[in-house]
Amino acid sequence: MTRRDLFVTLNEPFSNPGFLGPEARAERARPDGKLVVDPEYASCTFSTTVSLIESANTMEKTKRAFVKEIAYTLGSLPYRNLGLVRSLSDNAHGEPDNPTAVPLHILKDWQWSFLIRHPRSSVPSMYRLSVPPMSEKTGWDYFIPNELGYRELRNIVDFLFSKDIISRENVCLVDADDLLDNPSGVIAAYCQLVGIDYKPEMLTWDTSEDQAHCREIFRWWMAFHEDAMQSSGLKPRKSPKASLTVEEEDQKWFQTFGKEGARIIRSTVNSYIEDYDYLKSFALKL
């Protein structure tokens, strides 16, 4: 978002059709197995979102669209059997190996990069957004483990490997802990891989203009981005994140979320460790 000279930033644009529109694949959009469409998003489809991205790409000749998205909205596993969305394909089951709702010819046009976070950090963070008091802001009053999207992301990465859209030797994948430990080194390496110049000022967004731009980008799903909106830059952590034992983690979650919350978090973390470790094996190495 700090490189407004190069990019038009779109934050999770597929979340609207993925959670709220007539083509929604999210489990939350089907509480009883039947799709519930938000009337405000009745005309919001995957096709209109692809068009939005294409428009951003052509809006200014010197800029590209930079899209931050979550894997779950592109290919929710519980509804993978639905195949490709109708607004983008006349043959929903024409690409049975495609784990997303988006046809291959569109996926090929995108330059892919990935950001992962260890489940022991992401799961309690997501759980916090699904229980009071944060649930009053997010509107999510229950927790769905699938929404973490680790399995979906792994499936997407493997599919892109299989179609030679990305390579195992040069995949652009960043681990959040590496980024927080060494922001300048990781971002510089990221820039080299995606073909842009690195500037140290990319790590700071503390001006009123920066903050206004941040609020505009996060205007949808704002409650989910409070921490990002309250930040002003990236600085190296003073020391690497302390490793807790399983027992220490469980105790911490018990104190914060109670017995049932801690049980759900532990179960979810354990279920995604293998997927995370697999993805981590491709992370940028400095």
Tell me the per-residue pLDDT of 266-286, one tens digit each, with 9 for 90 and over: 999 999 999 999 999 999 998
Alpha-carbon span 3 to 9, nearest angstrom: 9
Query: Which residue, 192, 162, 45, is CA-closest to 96?
Result: 162
User: Residue 148 in contact with residue 270, Cβ under 8 Å?
Assistant: no
| For residue 72, pLDDT beyond 80 | yes
- Cis (ω within 30 of 0) for the bond into 78? no
- Averaged pLDDT of the chain: 94
Query: Which pLDDT belongs to residue 22?
Result: 97
Query: Which pLDDT belongs to residue 242?
Result: 78
Q: Tokens representing 223? A: 């409650």
Alpha-carbon span 115 to 190, nearest angstrom: 11
Task: Give whole-number Cα distances, 175 to 124, 140, 141, 182, 249, in Å.
Answer: 17, 27, 29, 11, 20
Q: Tell me: the pLDDT tens digits for 152-184?
A: 999 999 999 999 999 999 899 999 999 999 999
Q: Tell me: the pLDDT tens digits for 7-37?
A: 999 999 999 999 999 999 999 998 888 999 9
Rounded to an integer, the average pLDDT of 130-157 is: 94
Query: Which pLDDT belongs to residue 195?
Result: 94
Q: 19: number of CA atoms within 13 Å, CB side?
A: 16
Rounded to an integer, the average pLDDT of 103-114 is: 97
Rounded to an integer, the average pLDDT of 179-207 is: 95
| For residue 141, pLDDT beyond 80 | yes
Alpha-carbon span 176 to 178, nearest angstrom: 5
For residue 252, what pLDDT band results from cuts at 50, 70 and 90? very high
Query: Which pLDDT belongs to residue 32?
Result: 85
For residue 81, what pLDDT band results from cuts at 50, 70 and 90? confident
| For residue 57, pLDDT beyond 90 | no
Q: Tell me: the pLDDT tens digits for 202-249?
A: 999 999 998 899 888 888 777 888 888 888 899 999 887 778 999 999
Percent of the chain whose predicted confidence (pLDDT) is above 90: 80
